[in-house]
Every structure is written in structure tokens, then in C-alpha cells.
A and B are shown apart, each in its own frame.
Chain A
Amino acid sequence: GQQVMQIPQYQHVQEGEDFTTYCNSSTTLSNIQWYKQRPGGHPVFLIQLVKSGEVKKQKRLTFQFGEAKKNSSLHITATQTTDVGTYFCAGPPGRDDKIIFGKGTRLHILP
């Protein structure tokens, strides 16, 4: 069945450094979504990418969808302490209506 792999599992960066997490699918995706979960909180939807090669920005966050629509990345420029949390990518549901989440990348910021 469809799988969504996410790397790295953990990332420690110095405050001000950049951060990137990658998401890869075993199949072509019609879209991909990204979520952020703050420590102790619940996942919150960030963005959805639909088009091949699409790039979207939210302030310091840049989201990309690969040309083949099998991979995606989230890049954060000049990390801040507010960026701490776990970032999940998610593929769309198949016939079974289940959205497939990656295992997440936990970002820790060193002061």
C-alpha cells in the first residue's frame, strides 16, 4: 500500500540556522499536506501542495512539491525558538479514505 517516508526523524539546529525535512512517497500523490505539532499540542494544518513542482512560502517556511509528485520538502530559514515542534507530511487518502502521515521530523532549537 501507499507509504510516506519522512527524514530525518530528529534534527537539532542552532537558533538562526536553516532546517529542512523531506518527505518521500512510494507512489505518485495527487497532493501533499504539511502539519506542525508544537510540544504538548495537537497537529495543525500548515499547507497543501497540489501541482507538480509547486513552491509555496509562508514567511520563513518554504514548501516544495517534486516534479514527479512523489516527494516534498519543508525548509525553514533562520530558525527561531517558535519553530520547535514536530513537522508531519501527509499523503491524500486512497480508496479507503485514510490519510497517510509520515512519522514526522522533530525539530529542536539550541539557544
Chain B
Amino acid sequence: SQTIHQWPATLVQPVGSPLSLECTVEGTSNPNLYWYRQAAGRGLQLLFYSIGIDQISSEVPQNLSASRPQDRQFILSSKKLLLSDSGFYLCAWNRLLTDTQYFGPGTRLTVL
């Protein structure tokens, strides 16, 4: 069976500090991978998606970046966090040619 992992679960970071969030998927190969951000009580904002290694599409211009160094690994990074980067970050995957998305447990980021 397939599983998706995200870490850390919670993170408190000062403004201006770097960020690295990791997501890994097990039990499948060549998944589409996605990073979403969700502000408190709000909808899902798509940040990045990837259809393959080193193939990243950005949806929102901002101080975040994403990388996919391995087939089942997706990393969200920032060199300098802003207060507005606070939120709930969700990684998701779906199989090629299917639409159902499976979400990871998420990382709750607070920037102070």
C-alpha cells in the first residue's frame, strides 16, 4: 500500500530564517507530487507541482522554492521566511492518469 510522509509535523521559525520541509511517498513510482498551503480556516492554495524528477512548476511567485531530487521525494524550501509564510503545508500525490489526491499529514508552520 502507498503512504505519504511529511516532516516535521510542527515548526516555529523566526522571520528571516531558512526553511526545509520534506515529503516522501512510499509504495508507488513516478507519482505526481504537489505542495499546498492552507491559511487558518481557508482553502488550499497550490504552490508547486511536479510530474517528474527535477520537473517543477510554480503556481505562485514568492520566496518559496521546491525541488524533487528523487522520484518519491519532494522538498519545499525558503532562504528567508516571511510572516506571511505561516500556514499549514500539505504535500499530496496522485498516480499518473488518475485524479484522486492523497494528502500527507501536513506541517504546521508558524513564523514569528
Give me the interface of A with B, judged by CB distance under 8 Å: 31, 33, 35, 41-45, 48, 88, 90, 92-93, 96-99, 101-104, 106
Contacts and interface: CB of A to CB of B under 8 A. Distances in A.
Interface in B35-92: 41-44, 46, 49, 51, 57, 59, 90
Contacts, number: 47
Given A42-B105, A43-B90, A97-B49, A31 B43 contact: no
Contacts of B90: 42-43
Nearest to B91: A42
B99 A33 contact: yes
Interface residues of B, number: 20
Contacts of A106: 41
A94 to B, nearest CB: 11
